[in-house]
Chain A
Amino acid sequence: MTEPRPTPVLEARGLVKRYGHVTALDGADFQLLAGEILAVIGDNGAGKSTLIKALAGAIIPDAGEILLDGKPVRFHSPLDARRQGIETVYQDLAVAPAMSIAENLFLGREPKRTGLLGWLGALDKKRMLAEAMRHMQSLKIGIRSMKQAVETLSGGQRQGVAVARSAAFARHVVIMDEPTAALGVKEGNMVLELIRRVRDRGLPVILISHNMPHVFEIADRIHIARLGKRAAVVNPKHISMSDTVAVMTGAKRPEELPALAFA
């Protein structure tokens, strides 16, 4: 693979993070390309969560650098990352159940009305409802009223609200942290479909998942984390699930894989 690659949307070089004596990240590299779904997998303690937290701004790495569109960035908080256009969807349905779909979509980013009422801080609820409808429809989530409380939705639809929220505000990257873990089979598949739609709209997606069938169904490339480093990046079309798991657990060394397996 000597062909020149385009600048990655999000890149990390040599990330190091230590917690006391434990080294969670030991010089980890990472590359997310435009328009792809990149799955990140790894055994417990492989540094997968730490890597993602660093990319989402939830932790600050001790060393290494993160580049967004080729430019170095430093995130001091998840809010920093969000301001740079990196949105995260969490596994545990991070929504406010008693509040409406529209309110959940705009939580923390509510548009204000103009004029005196706006000056007093009144929200533009009409605009919130209309835009919420647009965002939900663009992902083909069929819900009639944006005034509906989120708690009246199924688990998959709730996660749909969270995905729509990220897709609506992300300018660069959507990170999905185990988005299907809390869901049943059918609902999980629905969320996978949503993830595809987000990618097809041009936003690259980082998908963290333990669910190998899901990963193989949807990922364009698979980043395998092991012992705080990137063990390999593989192409799901040219590698078996069992070989992938073997590399992930250390049963097989990446060098043992055929060249075609790498991506």
Chain B
Amino acid sequence: MMAILAACDPTIPVNAGLNPILTIALGLLVCAAFGALNGTLITRLRLPPFIVTLGTLNIAFAITQIYSKSQTISALPEALEYFGRTFRVGQTAVTYGTVLMLIMYLIAWFVLRDTAPGRHVYALGNNAEATRLMGIDTARMLLIVYTLGGLVYGIAGLLLVARTGVGDPQAGQTDNLDSITAVVLGGTSLFGGRGNILGTLLGALIVGVFRNGLTLMGVASVYQILITGILVILAVATDQLSRRKG
């Protein structure tokens, strides 16, 4: 989902020649709308989340291809590249995107750990029926979570564009598997209700360093995909086995 919308993001603005700030907002809005669509299909029609997201993934991918005519777009307006710019802390170059990411992690950490809505998200993942019986509007909550998810994919897309400097409709196609690996490595259960955001950050760092390391070692990207595939199965298997024990 994230990957495809990532590419979706820059194509709209450049072709339309709109004000760049407006176009970023529009791109994020499209992503959030896709998230809301997921959430609506899952909560109203009670469709299985996996199928719904797989379906919208393909729809978004196809729309991106059609819209961009499968062309990579370069010469992006400056505003789109802002988060790819760096400043120096000592010897290290830090992108503004990293700062944005850390701020988002901080917000997510606080909300999930310390506020009622955040705790209700965990409760929902633990026992949806019990959560509903306690008077929490679980359908509305799921819709909000999916919509926010869409928004976050959009921001991820924006960051990807800022970092690479091009709007590539093929971009990030393997990122969805990477993100699942990162989240599961970080201790989040795919069966719901367990995990925390700091673990996810760690998991993402592990996957990122791992990927980067393989690239530096000169491992071809197909083999990287192969290894990540194995890694995700291992991570989920560990999750599954530890659940069974519990």
Contacts and interface: CB of A to CB of B under 8 A. Distances in A.
Interface residues of A, number: 25
Interface stretch (B6-14, B38-46, B65-73, B121-129): B121-129
B134 A108 contact: yes
A16 to B, nearest CB: 25
A188 interface: no
A212 interface: no
A122 interface: yes
Given A98-B193, A98-B194, A108-B136, A120 B110 contact: yes
A94 interface: yes
Given A110-B116, A122-B115, A123-B115, A96 B133 contact: no
Nearest to B129: A94
Q: In the complex, which of the residues A78, A92, A120, A122 has the most CB atoms of chain B within 10 Å of its own CB atom? A: A122
A182 interface: no
A90 interface: yes
B227 to A, nearest CB: 31
Interface of A: 78-79, 82, 88, 90, 92, 94-99, 103, 107-110, 112, 117, 120-123, 125, 151
Given A90-B133, A123-B116, A123-B119, 15 more contacts: A96-B123, A96-B130, A96-B193, A97-B127, A98-B193, A99-B119, A103-B119, A103-B123, A107-B119, A107-B120, A107-B130, A107-B131, A108-B131, A120-B110, A121-B117
14 contacts: A82-B135, A90-B133, A94-B129, A94-B134, A96-B122, A96-B193, A98-B122, A99-B119, A103-B119, A103-B123, A110-B119, A120-B110, A120-B115, A121-B114
